[in-house]
Chain A
Amino acid sequence: MARAFADPPGPAHPATIWSRTAVARRFGREILFLIVLKIVLLTLLWWVAIKPAPRADTTPAAVAKHLVSQPTHAPSRP
């Protein structure tokens, strides 16, 4: 049963611009709500779980201490 590769009957309301229809407006509202909700929840997560943690000291001196031990002896390995 082959179907022809023809155009469908046409737009439901040819004069209507889709982005101004009720369904498009509802879609826009849903997406906007989700983006705002997401930003709010991420901010909340930041305030509750991340911000209270102390900041790591990343001055060159602190990094040197973190990566390189203080010299206790001066042997060079082969």
Chain B
Amino acid sequence: MINELVVDLSRAQFAATALYHFLFVPLTLGLVWMLVIMETVYVMTGREIWKRMTQFWGVLFGINFAMGVATGLTMEFQFGTNWAYYSHYVGDIFGTPLAIEGLMAFFLESTFVGLFFFGWDRLTPVKHLVVTVLVAIGSNLSALWILIANGWMQYPVGSVFNFETMRMEVTSFTEVMFNPVAQAKFVHTVSAGYVTGAMFVMSISAWFLLRGRNVAFAKRSMTVAASFGLASALSVVVLGDESGYALGDNQRMKLAAIEAMWDTEPAPASFTVFGWPDVEQRKTHFAIHIPYVMGIIATRTVDKVLPGINELEKTAEKNVRRGLLAYDALQKLQANPKDAVAKQVLDHNVDVLGYALLLKRWMDDPLKATDADIKRAATSTIPNVPVLFWSFRIMVACGFYFIALFALAFWYASRRELERRAWFLRLALYSLPLPWIAAELGWIVAEYGRQPWAIDGVLPTALGVSSVSAAQVATSLTGFVVFYTALLVVDVILMRKYIRLGPDGLGMWRSKPVTPLSAANAD
């Protein structure tokens, strides 16, 4: 039997470290391209201010990089410590992109980030720009390989189960690499990172403008952020739509849960803008629908039916029953590896073996499962509907808000009116936390929505956990929470200190004294 407490604590530990790590990742992904843009302008024009802009935002990039680096490493260690069975079962596939990420992308990024900081007076402007571009490529390649690994968890392709080694093995690495789910997740995630970087630059620039400090510096920064942010915010929405394209049954379940679509609707299904999902009654109260939208997003057609939660639950029940045939055959093969009939049965039903493994959560021998047990296993494939429903809607609302905000910034920047719009500058300043909220909610939709699976349809999360005690996981979880909270406090203090110093306080530039906009507006 599975120790549910160990499972929950292990999940909480991984979620805590992942959520913390993901506070740094989007800013690194986005800010580095802003540095590339600013430095390119410096190389092309030779104007000193663009170099100083690159250096100042580079200082903040450095703090973020230094605080974020190695916080993701603890997640990789957890695969061994807390998720040993998971690592054995899928390590052949999952480990490869992670290894490539560490060896290729992370080393590329880390090596050149040193040159970025210490190479200003040692490299020519063009060579230094190449270094900055390589840092940007390295950080984005890191994201690519991580998301290839993650995409495989969402949609396992290019692999097969080997009953002799009791694990999944690669059959086509090309399929793993070009997994459509991974590719869609990559472009959506990096675009969200670009929005985060743009918002960071725009908000801090707005703060400088409101205080009348580093005005020329802040106006240029804000103009770059507005342009880059607008393009990125539009990309996030368009590429997020690609993520909504459901490919497998389990992803359809996630999609139905996001929509709180309990019953199958005639094609094309509508999109629920607002509603109140009621899990007990399996209804969505006060639902406001936009006709056709969901069906078109998820199936790319107007005539394909998008199954609802209740129908998918019935499919899951059938899969559990068929999975038990595979489970039974696997048992026989464990006793006699030369059992040809059992091998044939396993081969025929191996695609749903994971569904039988769902029963291991409640019993040692799934073959003794009653109909009620099978129904319970099928019901367990429904993720937490209200959490997904609201997380998704808040994320999407943030996405559309970003488009409006950056469009407005772009308009004011084009008309050179940024400084005169104190209300807008305040709005930009107070919007600073929103990209992080949207990114974390996106992560919750993707990963919490994958439950109860570690690998969709293949390995239930509960079976991936190591045979460790709850006390051991609780101790390490406490350690991580205390340590990461302290790191977060230090990060905020450092960021605040260097932002308040500004380029003038850091001796990069002499600020032209002007009347603070907030004071001018108060008159």
Interface residues contributed by chain B, number (CB under 8 Å):
83
Q: CB distance B217 to A72 under 8 Å?
A: no
A34 to B511, CA, bound (A): 30
Stretch in B193-201, B445-453, B474-482 with 4+ CB within 8 Å of A: B474-482
The answer to the question of B344 belonging to the interface, with a C-beta cut-off of 8 Å to chain A, is no
Q: Whole-angstrom distance from the CB of B522 to the nearest CB of chain A? A: 13
Assess A53 versus B328: contact at CB under 8 Å? Given A1-B520, A8-B510: no
Please tell me which one of the listed residues B81, B365, B501 contacts residue A50 in the complex, with CB atoms under 8 A apart: B81
- In the complex, which residues 215-229 of chain B have their Cβ closer than 8 Å to any Cβ of chain A? 215-217, 219
Chain A residues with Cβ below 8 Å from B416 are 2, 5
Q: CB distance A63 to B166 under 8 Å?
A: yes
Stretch in B115-123, B144-152, B243-251 with 4+ CB within 8 Å of A: B115-123
Q: Whole-angstrom distance from the CB of B115 to the nearest CB of chain A? A: 12
Q: CB distance A42 to B367 under 8 Å?
A: no
A16 to B67, CA, bound (A): 28
Chain A residues with Cβ below 8 Å from B417 are 2
- In the complex, which residues 62-78 of chain A have their Cβ closer than 8 Å to any Cβ of chain B? 63-64, 66-78
Secondary structure of the B contact surface, majority rule: helix
Chain A residues with Cβ below 8 Å from B467 are 54, 56-57, 66
Q: Whole-angstrom distance from the CB of A30 to the nearest CB of chain B? A: 7
Q: CB distance B216 to A11 under 8 Å?
A: no
The answer to the question of B87 belonging to the interface, with a C-beta cut-off of 8 Å to chain A, is yes
The digit string for A1-36, where 1 denotes a CB below 8 A from any CB of B, is 111011111111110111111011001101100110
Assess A77 versus B367: contact at CB under 8 Å? Given A1-B520, A11-B509, A11-B510: yes
Assess A68 versus B506: contact at CB under 8 Å? Given A6-B216, A34-B490, A58-B88: no
Closest to A52 in B: B472
Q: CB distance A77 to B120 under 8 Å?
A: no
Interface residues contributed by chain A, number (CB under 8 Å):
59
Pick from B118, B483, B514 the residue with the most CB of A within 10 Å: B483
Q: CB distance A19 to B118 under 8 Å?
A: yes
Q: CB distance B120 to A68 under 8 Å?
A: no
Closest to B67 in A: A34
Please tell me which one of the listed residues A13, A31, A54 contacts residue B468 in the complex, with CB atoms under 8 A apart: A54
Q: CB distance B48 to A10 under 8 Å?
A: yes
Chain A residues with Cβ below 8 Å from B509 are 8, 10-12
Please tell me which one of the listed residues A3, A52, A54, A74 contacts residue B328 in the complex, with CB atoms under 8 A apart: A74
Q: CB distance B472 to A53 under 8 Å?
A: yes
- In the complex, which residues 359-381 of chain B have their Cβ closer than 8 Å to any Cβ of chain A? 360, 364-367, 369
Q: CB distance A49 to B475 under 8 Å?
A: yes
A12 to B77, CA, bound (A): 47
A63 to B166, CA, bound (A): 7
The answer to the question of B69 belonging to the interface, with a C-beta cut-off of 8 Å to chain A, is yes
Chain B residues with Cβ below 8 Å from A2 are 416-417, 419-420
Chain B residues with Cβ below 8 Å from A56 are 84-85, 466-468
16 interchain pairs (CB within 8 A)? A17-B120, A18-B120, A23-B501, A23-B507, A30-B494, A34-B494, A38-B70, A49-B472, A58-B88, A60-B166, A66-B463, A67-B85, A67-B357, A69-B331, A71-B331, A77-B325
